[in-house]
Amino acid sequence: MIEVVVVDQERAVEVLGVIQDAFGNRPVLDPPATALEETESSIAKALADYGGLLALDGVHPVGALLFSDLEDWLGLRRVGVVAAAQGKGVATKLAMTAEAVGQARGHVGLQLQARVELPKTQEFWQRQGYVEASLVGPQITMRKLLPVTLELPTAELTKRWGLELAAELEPGDLVILTGDLGAGKTTFTQGLGEGLGVRGAVTSPTFVIARVHPSLGAGPALVHVDAYRLGGAAELDDLDLDTDLDQAVTVVEWGEGLAEALAEDRIEIDLHRRDDDVRVATITRIGRRWVKP
């Protein structure tokens, strides 16, 4: 059983031991990674400043990382797993715990540096949902935004939230809505249409699979798709909408599992109707579009 705990400077010796083992077994890079220059006092200082994580197999330290405070973002540094514990899912557990810490401390997301020479490291973080935000020399900055949760007590507030979100959207953007019947997907889209300033009433596209609402001004059109009765992603792709999706904002209701293939950059919104009728929205922004520095 691997257990991951949040640690402070009291555990500096164990964290240092993990870093020396993990980084001592990596290929030498040019310029070299500076992890092996860490000392007990440099680690203790980092842990005192913003803490870190220690993964334990029983009482044995097998993985560690240091946090750093990058204001909006929670930085992850010196992420390492000892050679003897490779392949046991230690790094994945560290990454999951780091996300929980990021949420709890109110960061918008997590950030780390990966070296271009270590594609396996990059692939690992990509599997965890991180994307490349920038590349400077041999350093890739990778980021993952955390989901945002919102409580929407009334239909009016759901609409207003859609209206506000419209300001964030550009031509080519895709919003995927999931949630049971009556969860508020169409209500949200009505607000979005209002915010975009498009023509025509946004209604449940019950008898049509998709409806195009042209802009009343110079902005993008709204393409409103109901994927409920759609056979699959291929069919969605084949919809002859007579509109260039690159020039429109596309909203797909019931799109989960169908619409992801349409765009690497997208906003996924899950609407859930609570027993007290409040809608709880979980918003996940996926792709490079949202994490550029």
Ligand X SMILES: Nc1ncnc2c1ncn2[C@@H]1O[C@H](COP(=O)(O)OP(=O)(O)O)[C@@H](O)[C@H]1O
Residues of this chain that interact with ligand X (CB under 6 A) are 152-155, 158, 179, 181-187, 204, 253, 277, 279
**Sign for the pseudo-dihedral over CA of 156, 160, 165, 170:** positive
Q: How far is the CB of 226 from Mg ion (least distance, A)?
A: 7
- The torsion defined by the Cα of 104, 255, 237 and 214, in degrees rounded to 10, comes to -90
Residues 136, 137, 143: CA angle, nearest 5 degrees: 35
Q: How far apart are CA 7 and CA 38, in angstroms?
A: 17
Task: Please report, as residue ranges, which positions from 240 to 259 form the binding site for Mg ion (by CB under 5 A).
Answer: 253
Nearest residue (CB) to ligand X, 146 versus 177 = 177
CA–CA–CA angle 169, 208, 266 (5° rounding) = 25
The interface partner of residue 183, options being ligand X, Mg ion, none and the CB cut-off 5 to 8 Å by kind, is ligand X
Report the partner that residue 276 touches, choosing among ligand X, Mg ion, none (CB closer than 5 to 8 A by kind).
none
Write out the two tokens for 147: 């989901």
| Of residues 264, 258, 265, the one with CA closest to residue 290 | 265
Q: Does 186 bind Mg ion (CB under 5 A)?
A: yes
**Can you tell me the distance from the alpha carbon of 251 to that of 2, in angstroms, rounded to the nearest whole number?**
41
Taking the least distance from each CB to ligand X, the nearer of 92 and 204 is 204
CB of 45 to ligand X, least distance (A): 48
What is the nearest approach in angstroms of ligand X to the Cβ of residue 180?
Answer: 7
In the complex, what is the shortest distance from the CB of residue 183 to Mg ion, in angstroms, rounded to a whole number? 8
Q: How many CB atoms lie within 10 A of CB 48?
A: 12
Name, in order, each residue with C-beta under 8 angstroms of 95's C-beta and a sequence gap of 6 or more. Answer: 79, 125, 128
The amino acid that residue 109 corresponds to is G
CB of 176 to ligand X, least distance (A): 13
| 65 neighbors 94 (Cβ within 8 angstroms) | yes
Contacts of 80 (CB under 8 A, 6+ apart): 18, 19, 21, 22, 23, 35, 63, 64, 65
Say if residues 108 and 145 touch (Cβ distance below 8 Å).
yes
Judged by beta carbon distances under 5 to 8 A according to partner kind, the member of Mg ion, ligand X, none in contact with residue 158 is ligand X
Nearer to ligand X, 184 or 219 (CB): 184
In the bound complex, what is the minimum distance in angstroms from residue 181's beta carbon to Mg ion? 7
158 belongs to the binding site for Mg ion (CB under 5 A): no
Considering the complex, state which of residue 119 and residue 153 has its C-beta at the smaller distance from ligand X. 153
* Residue nearest to ligand X as judged by C-beta position: 184
Pick from 42, 68, 204, 284: which binds Mg ion (CB under 5 A)?
204
Residue 134 binds: one of ligand X, Mg ion, none (C-beta under 5 to 8 A by kind): none
User: Is the Cβ of residue 99 or residue 253 nearer to Mg ion in the bound state?
Assistant: 253
From Mg ion, ligand X, none, interface partner of 182 (C-beta below 5 to 8 A by class): ligand X
Give the residue, chosen from 185, 211, 213, 266, that forms a contact with Mg ion under the rule CB under 5 A. Answer: 185
Please identify, using beta-carbon distances, which residue of 43 and 176 lies nearer to Mg ion: 176
Question: What's the CA gap between 192 and 188, in Å, rounded?
Answer: 6
Q: What minimum distance in Å lies between the beta carbon of 253 and ligand X?
A: 6
Tokens of 4: 């991951």
Interface residues with Mg ion (CB under 5 A)? 185-186, 204, 253
